[in-house]
Amino acid sequence: MESLRWLVDAAIRAGVRRVVITGSFVTDALEPNDVDCVLLIEAGFPKDPVAEKELRVGLPFLDIQFADQDALERLIGHFFATDRHLIPKGMIEVTL
pTM of the model: 0.86
First to last CA, the chain: 17
Cis amide bond preceding 60, omega within 30: no
Q: Whose CA is closest to 16, among 50, 58, 51?
A: 51
> How many domains are there within the chain?
1
Residue-range definition of the domain harbouring residue 21: 2-95
Q: Is the pLDDT of residue 29 over 80?
A: no
Alpha-carbon distance of 92 to 6, in angstroms, equals 16
- The rounded distance, in Å, linking the Cα atoms of 2 and 72 is 24
pLDDT in tens, 31-78: 878 888 999 999 999 999 999 999 999 998 899 999 999 999 998 888
Distance CA 49, CA 20 (A): 21
CATH number at residue 19: 3.30.460
